[in-house]
Amino acid sequence: MKPPIIIQESEVEITAIRAQGAGGQNVNKVSSAIHLRFDIPASSLPDDVKERLLALRDNRITQDGVLIIKAQQHRTQDMNRMDALARLHELVQSVATPPRVRRPTKPTYGSRQRRLEGKSQRSEIKSSRGKVVG
C-alpha cells in the first residue's frame, strides 16, 4: 500500500468568512466559517493524482482547477479549519490509488449450461400457456 499523500500547507489558501444561517447575534459579528482554496494544477501532487482529481465530476472544482471547500458546521474557526482540511485530505485520498483495470473473462462451461437449461425451462413454461385445442 502506498503511503498517504501529504498536502503542503503553503499550497492551501484559507480565508475566514461569516457563516450563514441561524446563530443569533453572534453570527453577524464573528467570522467562524472557513473558505479553503486548493489550486490542483499548481500543487505538488503527483501528476496522475492531479489528473484523477480534475476528472472528478465535482461542483466544488472550478474550470481553472481550483478546489473550493466551505466549512461552517462548527461554532469555532479552528474546528471549521480542521473540518475543511480533513475534507480536502479525504478527497485527495479517494483518488490516490488508481482504479483497477478490468480484464474481461469468458463464462465457464458450467455457467453456460445452467443458463441454457434455465432458458429451456422458461420456454417450456411459456409454451404451455397457449390456447387449448379441443
**Pairwise pLDDT comparison (117 vs 94), residue with the higher score:** 117
Residue 124 resides in a domain? no
The rounded mean pLDDT for the chain is: 87
Q: Assign residue 36 the CATH number of its domain.
A: 3.30.160.20
Cell digits for 108?
Answer: 465457464
- Of 27-31, 52-56, 76-80, 112-116, least confident by mean pLDDT is 27-31
Range of the domain at 55: 11-94
DSSP helix/strand/coil, 29: coil
> What local confidence, expressed as pLDDT, does residue 102 receive?
92
In a domain, 131, yes or no: no
Q: Does residue 112 lie within any of the structural domains?
A: no
The number of domains in the chain is: 1
User: So what's the pLDDT on residue 113?
Assistant: 97
CB of 62 within 8 A of CB of 68?
A: yes
For cell 485520498, what's the residue?
Answer: 93
Q: Considering the entire predicted model, what is its pTM?
A: 0.69
